[in-house]
Structure 1
Amino acid sequence: MIDKRYQIFISTSGADMQPERMILSQTLVGMGFFSWGLEQRTPLSTAFARRQIDDCDYVIILLGSQYGEQSVSGVGYMHLEYIYAVTKQKPIIVFMHEDPASRDPALHDQKPELKEKFSEFRKLLQQEVDQVFTYRTLRDLEMAVRLNMTQMLERYPTTGWVRPQNAQKLHDEIDRLKAKINQLEQDLGTREIDPFLTLPKVAMNEAFGFEYRVHAYQDGNFKELKIQKTLTWSQLLAVLGSTFLNPTPEEYFSKRMNEYLNEIGLADARIEMPRAHAVARAQINIRALHNIKMQMRQNEWISPAGRDDRQRMLWKLTQKGHNLLESHLLSDNRVSL
């Protein structure tokens, strides 16, 4: 067995979580993990935190009873780190206090607007993150970490870090996995029963509803909105198609959709905030994004195109998808199956 170590980025609200952070870090070190994170946040530290998240294997959100220090935009640094981790598709695990109201009053936000932001952020994590665990005492936290971090390695395996003396074993494992990937891709291309066939094909003018979140700014204030959006499949193909004219990493599905939602989100935001003057940080619901990818694959508008040198899955527009983009079908909403 290869001796691996994993890098964990820890995000907390700040000094109020120092005892919990210490227990978490000590427990992780004892389990063989490397823990990272920033306790003091400034606008200049944001870029450094993002580089740490880029390099880490897992992200832990440790939530007590405070929203934490805010950036100039009014969004907490912990909240921003969570959003960035989601966009980078990092495996996320949350440890939150079971009953924040029972904590010492000195550990709570004093301003009503911060209390509201904390409550909304806590609900957001409970809704969006699959791995959320609660604790009451420091001992509870230690036991939750020991149990669930081990399970995270099984559910979301990553490359990790390997000691230099084990490098040859790692190269052998990589070669074995590459051969397995090639064989699976060949099998996928030849099998008669494709798992995507469980999805019914859609018409170009058929509507698809999904949810996205966006930061809206009005009268100097900031608010995160949850917006229900409906687009036809012709519109979705028009948005995504040009991104995949050449083989492109799968992560560009979310990148392009979020760029598009930032472009058009102001009109959606003004339904709830009529005087909104700007929007930013649009984020499509992860499950909706997955459905879009699978449906476009089922309709034969995109197809897998191998992997790049970083072993990222590549996707490319098919000839059928290319023809639809160049035709009038996308503009007149005629049906094409």
Structure 2
Amino acid sequence: MLDRRYQVFVATSGLDMSPERRIVAQTLIGIGFSSWCVEHRTPVSTAIARRQIDESDYVVMLLGSKYGDCSVSGVSYMHLEYIYAITKQKPIIVFIHADPRNRPDELQETSLQAKEKFNNFRKQLQHEVDQVFFYRDLRDLELIVRANMLHMLECFPVLGWIRPQNMQILQDRIDALNAKVNQLERELKKCEHDMVAICDVSVEDIYCFRYRIQAYQDGYVHEMEHERSEDWGQLLYVLSKVFKTLMPEECFAKCLNDYLNETALAELRITMPQVYAVGRAQIQVQHLYHIKLQMRQNEWILPAHRDERHRMLWKLSSKAHEILETYIQQQNRNFQLNSNSYSNL
């Protein structure tokens, strides 16, 4: 199992929150997080804090009873860090002292303006951040951090980082994936090699393809591989039911497999009379690919454009509509002639 770690930036008002910051840092280490914090505030430290926020997975706002040291703009460095984290769309969790007025006098703001800014910032955090939790003492803070930081992993999953000693595990996974890619590339080349040359066909031409299907007989499931011969007119007719409107490319497989599920029972009963049901038909990939290419080559079903999910959408062409009308009329005439021949007998 990979030893995954997560980086957390802890924003505080300054040195007045050192005990709380140490508790948070120790607690985070115990549950798989590493923390950063900037306590000595200067204009230079702002750039450092922003770089640390950029590289962090989560941001913790730790608010006691002070607004904190202010920048030249009159906004505290902690407040600026909060604004920056918002712009970077970092998951934020806030831990606020439940009763800031009862903290020691040396931890209180001395000016009315600073107290007003603190109260406004406290209200802002409660209004804008979903994950806000209140603590009363250091022990309470430890328990709340431990419980809710693990909850943050579930609500806001991130990649984190892997310890260097786990690089061999990662390399093994990469090697396994590369082997899988090579295997798939070989299979793709084999499919391409098996493909027949694509040229124009007529609706009367016959196409032979193979498919797999499950046949149910005597309470058992039999995995079967079968061959089917259809003229291109019938294949176009089957696909036209789906591609009358814009549909994604994967509908080729679903449409043909559904057709095989509906029609294969009678075909299989020729050799297996006791078969009572079939299902899970799947046309072979190379034949599916050939049918799709043939529909495009003949300009019967063509790619139109991509949807919002970047999937290629296909649609029956006007040319195919005309061909289908003629084909269906011919099929009806053939059926009528066959019916008359049987009645004469």
* TM-score, normalised relative to structure 1: 0.51
Deviation per CA, 1:146-176: give whole Å up to 9, x if none: 1001111111111111023434655749x79
Find the residue that maps to 2:40 and give its secondary structure: coil
Per-residue CA shift, 1:82-127, capped at 9, x if unaligned? 0000100111110000111111122110110110000010011001
**Partner residue, 1:76:** 76
**More displaced stretch, 98-107 vs 44-53:** 98-107
Aligned partner of residue 157 in structure 2, secondary structure: coil
Aligned to 1:120: 120
Instruction: Give the Cα separation in 1 of the matches to 2:248 and 2:153.
Output: 30
The CA distance in 2 between the partners of 1:305 and 1:42, in whole Å, is 48
Structure 1 Cα separation of the partners of residues 309 and 101 of structure 2: 49
Measure the CA separation in 2 of the matches of 1:137 and 1:146: 14
Aligned twin of 2:97? 97
Task: Give the aligned partner of residue 150 of structure 2.
Answer: 150
1:4, 1:150 → 2: CA distance? 13
Which piece of structure 1 moves more, 156-165 or 36-45? Answer: 156-165
Q: Match of 1:146, SS?
A: helix
Q: Work out the CA distance in 2 between the residues paired with 1:191 and 1:27.
A: 50
**Residue 37 of structure 1: how far off its partner (Å):** 1.1
How far does residue 20 in structure 1 lie from its aligned partner after superposition?
0.7
**Could you say if the C-alpha distance between residues 167 and 23 of structure 1 is closer, same or farther in structure 2, counting changes exceeding 3 Å?**
same
CA distance 1:64–1:166, shift in 2 (3 Å):
same
Distance 1:166 1:108, change over 3 A: same
Letter aligned with residue 75 of structure 2: V
Give 1:134 shift: 0.5
Alpha-carbon shift at residue 70 of structure 1 (Å): 0.2
CA distance in 1, matches of 2:148, 2:166: 27
Cα offset for 1:190?
Answer: 7.8
Which segments of 5 or more consecutive residues in structure 2 lack a partner in the other structure? 182-246, 252-306, 312-345
- Counterparts in 2 of 1:253-272, with a 5 A limit? none
Q: 1:189 to 1:47 in 2, by over 3 A?
A: farther
3-state SS, counterpart of residue 44 of structure 1: helix
Q: Report deviation, 1:130.
A: 0.8
Structure 2 CA distance for aligned equivalents of residues 190 and 98 of structure 1: 57
Deviation for aligned residue 1:47: 0.8
Task: Give yes or no for the alignment of 1:53 onto 2:68.
Answer: no
- Tell me what 1:12 maps to: 12
Supply the distance in 1 between the matched residues of 2:28 and 2:62 (Cα, whole angstroms): 13
SS at match of 1:134: strand
Aligned-partner SS, 1:114 = helix
Q: Distance in 2 between matches of 1:139 and 1:122?
A: 22
* Distance change in 2, residues 1:97/1:168 (3 Å): same
State how far apart, in whole Å, the 2-side matches of 1:125 and 1:160 are.
Answer: 25
- Distance, in Å, in 1 between the alignment partners of 2:170 and 2:126 is 36
Q: Report the structure number with the largest CA radius of gyration.
A: 2
Q: Per the alignment, do residues 190 and 2 of structure 1 end up closer, same or farther by CA in structure 2, a change over 3 Å counting? A: farther
Distance 1:116 1:170, change over 3 A: farther
Change (3 A) 1:191 1:96: farther
1:83 to 1:191, Cα distance in 2 relative to 1, 3 A? farther
Which residue of the partner structure matches residue 111 of structure 1?
111
> Separation in 1 of the partners of 2:108 and 2:136?
16
Q: Structure 1 pair 190/127, CA: closer, same or farther in 2 (3 Å)? A: farther
Per-residue CA deviations over 1:288-309 (Å, capped at 9, x if unaligned) read xxxxxxxxxxxxxx94669xxx
What CA distance in whole angstroms lies between the structure 2 residues aligned with 1:303 and 1:127? 34
Q: Give the Cα separation in 2 of the matches to 1:170 and 1:133.
A: 37
Per-residue CA deviations over 1:1-41 (Å, capped at 9, x if unaligned) read 32101111011001111111111111112222111010101
Residues 303, 137 of structure 1: CA spacing in aligned structure 2 closer, same or farther, 3 A cutoff? same
More displaced stretch, 24-33 vs 118-127: 24-33
The separation in 1 between residues aligned to 2:148 and 2:163, in whole angstroms, is 24
2:80 is matched by which residue type in structure 1?
L
Question: In 1, Cα distance between the equivalents of 2:68 and 2:308?
Answer: 43
Distance in 1 separating the partners of 2:140 and 2:34: 21
- Pick closer, same or farther for the CA change 1:190–1:131 going to 2, 3 Å: farther
The match for 2:319 is none
RMSD: 2.8
Distance 1:77 1:107 in 2: 17
- Give the aligned partner of residue 42 of structure 1: 42
Q: Once superposed, which parts of structure 1, at least 4 consecutive aligned residues long, lie more than 4 Å away?
A: 168-173, 188-192, 302-306
Judged with a 3 Å threshold, the aligned counterparts in structure 2 of structure 1 residues 166 and 102 are, in CA distance, closer, same or farther, namely same
- CA offsets per residue over residues 179-225 of structure 1, 9 Å max, x none? 9xxxxxxxx97899xxxxxxxxxxxxxxxxxxxxxxxxxxxxxxxxx
